[in-house]
A and B are shown apart, each in its own frame.
Chain A
Amino acid sequence: MGGLQKKKYESGSATNYISRNKARKKLSLSLADFRRLCILKGIYPHEPKHKKKVNKGSTAPRTFYLLKDIRFLLHEPIVGKFREYKIFVRKLRKAYGKAEWSGVQRMKENKPAYKLDHIIKERYPTFIDAVRDVDDALSMCFLFSTFARTGKCHVQTIQLCRRLGVEWMNYIITSRSLRKVFLSIKGIYYQAEVLGQTITWIIPYQFAHDHPTDVDYRVMATFTELYTTLLGFVNFRLYQTLNLVYPPKLDGQGEFSLKSECEEDYALESESYSEKLAALSASLARTVPSVEDEEAELDHFPAEGEDLEKMETREKMELEQNKQKKLFEGLKFFLNREVPRESLAFVIRCFGGEVSWDKSLCIGSTYDETDETITHHIVDRPTIDKQYINRYYIQPQWVYDCVNGKILLPVEEYFLGVTLPPHLSPFVEESEGDYVPPEKLKLLALQKGEKPQAEEDEEEEEEEEDDEDDEEEDDQSEDEDEAEDEASLAEMEEKRAQGKSLSVKVTPGKVKPENRMRTEQEEKAEEKRLAIMMMKKREKYLYDKIMFGKKRHVREVSLLRNSSILYAFF
C-alpha cells in the first residue's frame, strides 16, 4: 500500500483539544486574563474521552480546552481591551513615577472600559436561554448585595447588585410567579417560574459576613460583572413583558405617600426612592394602565385520548396555580420587628397579601399596628404583651408552609410559644420506595381537603394496620421458623434418646404443611441466584453496582422510617 505512514497524535482527538498553557500562549494572555476571559465567555475545560491519547501518551494531569473554543476566543474584541488595560496600567505607573499629576488625571479619565453586552447576546442567543441560566446570577447578586460597603469590592458593584436584586423581586411580586420557599440553615431558597423556566435562588440570612481568607474575590467579582450585565438585560426585558416602567417607578399613590412621609429622614431623595422600592410594599408604575382580570383563558381544542387527558391535567394545574397565586389575597399582615422583614414582605406580596410593619423599622410601611383590619400578626418571640383580639398571632414559618402547601394551613400549630411542626423542603419529590415523612403525608391529606383530625387517626390506623400486617408476616415466618426449629429439636432429642436406649422407635409421621407460594418463590429466588452465577464478569460488576445502590437506598429509607417511628413514640 502506498502513501505516507500516519504519525501518531496528528489526527483525531489529539488535535481537537489543547492544553491550558498552550491555549494561553496562543492567545498571548496572562493566566489571570485568560481566566477572566474564560469566565466572561463561558469557556470551560472539557474532559476528553481518551485522556492519554489527547495528552500524547503522557498521563500527567492536565486540563484541556476544545481547540475550537480557543480559536473562537481569538476573535474576541475584549481581548484587545485587556491588552489596552494592561498598557494603561503601565502608562499610569510611569506617570506616577514621574510625578506627572496632570497626566495621571487625564489617563484616569480615559481609563479603558469594556462592555459585556455583546458577550451576553452571544452566550444567550435567545431570551429564554438567558432566563434559564439566571439562577447563579441571582444567587451571586443577592450575596454581593449583602456585603458591607467596605473592602471586598467596589461600592458601585454592591449598589448595582442591590438594585438588580430589588428589581427582580419587584418583578416576581408583580408577575406573582413565586412557587416555593424553603427556610434552610444556609439561607432562604426561593423558586419561581418565569416564562416557563423554573428558577431557584438563595438569599443568605441578614447577618454581617465573616469573610473567609481562602476565597479569591477577584474571581467572584468577575463573575458578578457578567451576572449584573445579564441580570440587567433580563430585568429590562421582563419589565417590558409586563408593561412596567424600567428602571422601576412606584405608581402614583406610592410616590405621593413617600413624599409626604419621609422627606426629613433621608438626605437624598434618590436614596429614599431606592429604599422605598426595596421595601417591596408598593406596586410599580406601568407604561400602559393595567387592566384587571386580564388572565388569558386557555383555548379549548378538541382532543382525544391521551391528548385529552393531558389537556385536562394541564387545565387542572392551571387552576391550581391561579388559586395559589391568590393564596393570601384579602389577608392583612403585620410584621413584628424581629422577623425577617424583606423575605416575608416579598413572599406575602407575591401571593397577594397586604403587609406592613412598624414605621421605625423601615421605610414604606403602609398601615399601623393598631389597624383593626389586620388578620395576621407575625411574631417570632415566645409572648407578646399587648395583643389585639381580632387577629392571629403566628410564627413566620406559617407563611412559608402555606406557600409550600398551596393552602392556608390551620394556624393552631403556629401560635406563639407553640413547638413548631417540622419545616419540610418543598423541592423533594418522593418517588416510589422513597421515605415520606409523616408530616408530608399529613400535608398531602390536607391538600386533598380531608379534615386533619380524622385524617390523623386514619393515618395512624393505617400505619398500625401496616405494622400489624408486617408483624403478622413476621409472625408467620417466625412461626414457621419456630415450627422447623421445634421439629429439628424433636429430631435431635429422638436421636439422643436412640443413642441412649438404642431402641428403634417408629413414630407416626407428621404431614408438613407445604406453603405452595413460598416454595415457588424460593425456587424462583434460587433460579435467579444460579443464573447470576453464570453472568459475565463485566455484567456482574454492573449488576452488583446497581444492586448495591438499590440496597443502600432501601437501607437509608428504612433507617429514616425506623427513627421516625421511634421519635413518634417518645
Chain B
Amino acid sequence: HSSKRSLTKIYAYGHDQDQRKFWLALILTSVTLQDIRNTVGNIPMEWYKDYPHIGYDLDGKKIFKPIRNKDELDEFLDKMENPDYWRTVQDKMTGADIRLSDEQVDLVHRLQEGKFGDVNFNEYEPAIDFFSNEVMIHPVTNRPQDKRSFIPSLIEKEKVGKLVHAIKMGWIKPRRPKETTPQYYDLWAKEDPNSILGRHKMHVPAPKLKLPGHEESYNPPPEYLMSEEERLAWEQQDPEDRKLSFLPQKFACLRAVPAYSRFIHERFERCLDLYLCPRQRKMRVNVNPEDLIPKLPKPKDLQPFPTTQSLVYRGHSSLVRSISTSPSGQWLVSGSDDCTVRFWEVSTARCLKTVEVGGAVKGVAWNPNPSICLVAISYDDTVVLLNPGLGDRLVSTATDQLISSYEEPEEVKEQPVQWTVAEGEGHEQGHRLILKHPKAVRQVTWHGKGDYLACVMPDNGSSLQVVIHQVSKRRTQNPFRKNKGLVQCVSFHPIRPYFFVATQRYVRVYNLIKQELTKKLMANCKWISSMATHPGGDNVICGSYDCRLAWFDLDLSTKPYKVLRHHKKALRSVAYHRHYPLFASGSDDGSVIVCHGMVYNDLLQNPLIVPVKVLKGHTITHDLGVLDVTFHPTQPWVFSSGADGTVRLFT
C-alpha cells in the first residue's frame, strides 16, 4: 500500500494522457502480481505473441499463458451474462483475467476525473510563505549582504557609456516611424527620350486587349443574340474553340444586370498572357488575292478550241469505254460494256453500223494509216481486226486484199498469240483477223504507220504484259523479258522508234531498235491511268487516279515540267490534238478540260500551258464520269465517251 500511495502521488503530477495510462498499468501490475513475478521486464508484450509462454518467473521457468479459447460469441455471452464483465480486465503480463476490486475501481474513477489517487490527500493545503514582507525576529537565512549589491556595476557603466557615446556621435538614431503609404514623386522629371535600352530592339510590346463589340452589350440589338441552336452549339464547344467567350444576353434595364462571374478569371488570364505567353512578331500577309492569280494569256486569244457541246451520240446501253476516230475524221468508233461496237458518222451522229462481239469491249483503235481501213477491237482475251467497210470502197477492198494476200512462211515460229482468220458470219460482219491472247487485253494502240499494233495485258506476275503485233506478217513479239511492274498503258513515238510504257508510277521510254531503256520518267503520282504523246514526240502527258495531270518535257527532265490539279476526281483519259496545240483530259467528275499546250520549236522556250475550257455534259453514273477523250484528227473538236452510255462531240 505504501508503494501504491507513492505512485498515485506521483501520478498526480503527470498530467499527460500517456503518462496516466502508464501509471495505471503500473498500479495494476503492482497490485495484482504479487505471487507470480514475471521477469521479462518492461517490454512490449506482443513480442511473446507467438509463444505459448509469456515470460519467466524468478526461478527461470516459463510462465505459460492461461488457456483462452473464447471466441467472439463467448465474449459476447460473457458480456451479457457476467455482471462483473465491466470490471474485468486482462493482465498483459500474465494473460489472465482480473476482476478489479471496488477500491481499484474507485481509484480508476478518481484518476479518470483527474483527481489524486489518494482519497485523503489535500491539494489545497495553505501555503507557508517563508520570504514575506514582514520582518521577523529570526531571519530565515543569516548571510551577510554581498558588496556588489550596493556598489554600482562597472560593466553596466561601461555599456551605458558606450551607448551614450554612440548617441552623442550620432551612430545610434531613434527608430524611424515606418512608412506605410508609398511615396510618389515626379519620376520622369529628367526624362531622356533617347534612353531606350538595348534590349528594346527585340522588345515586342504586349498587344492590347480586344475592344468589345455590340454583342457584349447589356442590351444588344436582337440580331446579336444567339438562337437556341447556336446557344446549344456554343455550350457543346470546348471553351478554347468558342468564338465568343460569353453568351450574349439582353437585360431590360441596367438594374437587372448581374455580376459577371468570370471577371477575375479574365483578368488573371490577361496576367498570365502578359508574363507567360511567348511573344513573336508575325508579319501579316497583306496580299490582294487577285495578285496571286497568275497572269495568263486570254483564252480568247488562243482560239480555236472546243467550246460547246454540239452532238450527242446515243445508242449504247452501258458505259462506253473507248472511242477512236478514223484518220479522215469522218467516222467514229466506240466500244462499250454492252458488248457492241458502234460506228458513227461524225457530222450527223448517225449510227451506221453495230457489231456485236463476245464480251465487254475494253479498247478500240482505228488504224491511223489512211490507206488501210482497219479497226482493232479488244474484248476479254481477244483482239479483233475489223474492216468496217465504211468510206472509200477502194480502201476497204484494198485492206481485204492485203489481209488475204498473206502467205504463210515456211517455218512456223511458235507465237504467244494465236492468229486466226475470221470466217462465216464473222467475216460478213467485217471481222478479218482474230488474235487470241493468253490474258485479258486492256488496251490496243497502233503505230503511226499502221502496221504495228501494241496490246496491253496487265498482269503483275509474268513478263508477258505487252505484245507487239505486226499485221502484215502476222507476227507477234514480246519486247520485254522482265516484269517491271503493272503496265497501265503503252504508246508509240509518232516519229522515232521509241516505245513508251507507263507502269503505276513511272513511264519508261524504250528504244525499239537498240532494244534498251533510254529514259525513266518519274510521274510523282500514285497511279498512272493514261498517257498521251505529243505529235512532236518530245512531250508526254500522264493522267493519274490521284487527280493529277503531269506534263513531261523529255528534253528538260525526267520529272514533270508541270503538274496540273484541275480535276476534282481521278483522271481517266488524256489526249493530244494532232495539229492544234491542244490537249484534253477527262475525269470522273464528268468534265473534260481542254488546255492550250503550245510547244515551241525553240528549245530554249518552255511549253506554254493554259487551261482554256471546262466542258461539261456527261452525267455521272456509278461514280464514273468521262471514260475516254479523243480529238478529231483535223478539226479542233473533241469527243468524249462517258459512263452514261453516250459519246459527245464538243466543237
Residues of A at under 8 Å CB distance from B? Answer: 35, 38-39, 43-47, 49, 63-64, 66, 68-69, 72, 109, 115, 117, 120-122, 124-127, 130, 133, 135-136, 139-140, 143, 156, 160, 182-187, 189, 200, 204-205, 207-212, 214-216, 219-220, 223, 228-229, 232-233, 235-237, 240, 246, 338-340, 380-381, 395-397, 419-420, 422-425, 427-428, 437-439, 523, 526-537, 539, 542-543, 546-547, 550, 560-561, 563-564, 566-567
What distance in Å separates the Cβ of A336 from its nearest Cβ neighbour in chain B?
Answer: 10
For residue A232, which residues in chain B have a CB less than 8 angstroms away from its CB?
A: 182, 184
Contact A185 B188 (CB under 8 A): no
Contact A156 B223 (CB under 8 A): no
- Which one, A39, A235, A422, A530, contacts B611 given CB within 8 A? A530
Contact B199 A72 (CB under 8 A): yes
Q: Which of B164-172, B270-278, B359-367, B619-627 sits within the interface? A: B270-278
| Chain B facing A: main interface SS | loop
- Which one, A183, A219, A240, A543, contacts B293 given CB within 8 A? A543
Q: Does B218 contact A (CB under 8 A)?
A: yes
**Additional pairs, 6, CB under 8 Å, beyond known A43-B275, A233-B188, A564-B223:** A44-B276, A45-B277, A68-B198, A212-B264, A219-B271, A530-B296
For residue A124, which residues in chain B have a CB less than 8 angstroms away from its CB?
A: 188
Contact A204/B255 with A236-B184, A422-B219 known, Cβ cut-off 8 Å: no
- Which one, A44, A420, A427, A528, contacts B253 given CB within 8 A? A420
For residue B185, which residues in chain A have a CB less than 8 angstroms away from its CB?
A: 233, 236
Q: Which of B202-210, B403-411, B469-477, B505-513 sits within the interface? A: B202-210
For residue B219, which residues in chain A have a CB less than 8 angstroms away from its CB?
A: 183, 397, 420, 422-423
Q: Does B216 contact A (CB under 8 A)?
A: yes
What distance in Å separates the Cβ of B575 from its nearest Cβ neighbour in chain A?
Answer: 18
Q: Which of B3-11, B284-292, B640-648 sits within the interface? A: B284-292
Q: Does B121 contact A (CB under 8 A)?
A: no
Q: Does B266 contact A (CB under 8 A)?
A: yes
Q: Which residue of B lies closest to A240 (CB)?
A: B186
For residue A528, which residues in chain B have a CB less than 8 angstroms away from its CB?
A: 293
For residue A210, which residues in chain B have a CB less than 8 angstroms away from its CB?
A: 259, 261
The CA-CA distance from A122 to B278 in the complex, in Å, is 22
Contact B249 A47 (CB under 8 A): no
The 8 closest A-B pairs by CB, nearest first: A207-B259, A47-B280, A427-B211, A47-B278, A533-B566, A45-B278, A563-B223, A564-B223
For residue B285, which residues in chain A have a CB less than 8 angstroms away from its CB?
A: 542
For residue B184, which residues in chain A have a CB less than 8 angstroms away from its CB?
A: 232-233, 235-236, 246
Contact B213 A136 (CB under 8 A): no
Contact A532 B293 (CB under 8 A): yes
Contact A126 B216 (CB under 8 A): no
What distance in Å separates the Cβ of A204 from its nearest Cβ neighbour in chain B?
Answer: 5
**Could you jot down 26 A-B contacts, CB within 8 Å?**
A39-B274, A44-B276, A45-B276, A68-B198, A68-B199, A121-B187, A126-B193, A133-B205, A143-B267, A182-B216, A184-B218, A186-B266, A187-B260, A210-B259, A216-B268, A219-B271, A233-B188, A235-B184, A339-B254, A380-B253, A423-B220, A527-B298, A532-B293, A534-B294, A550-B289, A563-B222
For residue B259, which residues in chain A have a CB less than 8 angstroms away from its CB?
A: 204-205, 207-210
For residue A339, which residues in chain B have a CB less than 8 angstroms away from its CB?
A: 254-255
Q: Does B135 contact A (CB under 8 A)?
A: no
The CA-CA distance from A563 to B276 in the complex, in Å, is 41
What distance in Å separates the Cβ of A208 from its nearest Cβ neighbour in chain B?
Answer: 8
- Which one, B254, B270, B278, contacts A63 given CB within 8 A? B278
The CA-CA distance from A346 to B219 in the complex, in Å, is 21
The CA-CA distance from A47 to B191 in the complex, in Å, is 32
For residue B276, which residues in chain A have a CB less than 8 angstroms away from its CB?
A: 44-45, 63
Contact A535/B292 with A126-B193, A135-B209, A209-B263 known, Cβ cut-off 8 Å: yes
Q: Does B233 contact A (CB under 8 A)?
A: no
Contact A143 B263 (CB under 8 A): yes
Contact A185 B267 (CB under 8 A): no
For residue A211, which residues in chain B have a CB less than 8 angstroms away from its CB?
A: 264
For residue A228, which residues in chain B have a CB less than 8 angstroms away from its CB?
A: 182
Q: Does B134 contact A (CB under 8 A)?
A: no
Contact A47/B208 with A232-B182, A560-B223 known, Cβ cut-off 8 Å: no
Contact A425/B293 with A46-B280, A186-B266, A219-B268 known, Cβ cut-off 8 Å: no
- Which one, B181, B202, B211, B299, contacts A530 given CB within 8 A? B299
Q: Does B217 contact A (CB under 8 A)?
A: yes
The CA-CA distance from A207 to B271 in the complex, in Å, is 22
Contact B255 A380 (CB under 8 A): yes
Contact A428/B293 with A44-B277, A126-B188 known, Cβ cut-off 8 Å: no
Contact A215 B268 (CB under 8 A): yes
Q: Which residue of A lies closest to B216 (CB)?
A: A184
For residue A423, which residues in chain B have a CB less than 8 angstroms away from its CB?
A: 217-220
- Which one, A63, A422, A539, contacts B217 given CB within 8 A? A422
For residue B221, which residues in chain A have a CB less than 8 angstroms away from its CB?
A: 422, 424, 437-439, 564, 567
Contact A533 B292 (CB under 8 A): no
The CA-CA distance from A399 to B536 in the complex, in Å, is 82
The CA-CA distance from A121 to B196 in the complex, in Å, is 11
For residue B298, which residues in chain A have a CB less than 8 angstroms away from its CB?
A: 527
Contact A425/B271 with A46-B202, A530-B611, A542-B287 known, Cβ cut-off 8 Å: no
For residue B481, which residues in chain A have a CB less than 8 angstroms away from its CB?
A: none
Contact A139 B208 (CB under 8 A): no
What distance in Å separates the Cβ of A364 from its nearest Cβ neighbour in chain B?
Answer: 22
Contact B213 A425 (CB under 8 A): yes
The CA-CA distance from A19 to B186 in the complex, in Å, is 38
Contact A564/B222 with A223-B271, A229-B182 known, Cβ cut-off 8 Å: yes
Q: Which residue of B lies closest to A429 (CB)?
A: B211
Contact A534/B611 with A232-B184, A233-B187, A564-B222 known, Cβ cut-off 8 Å: yes
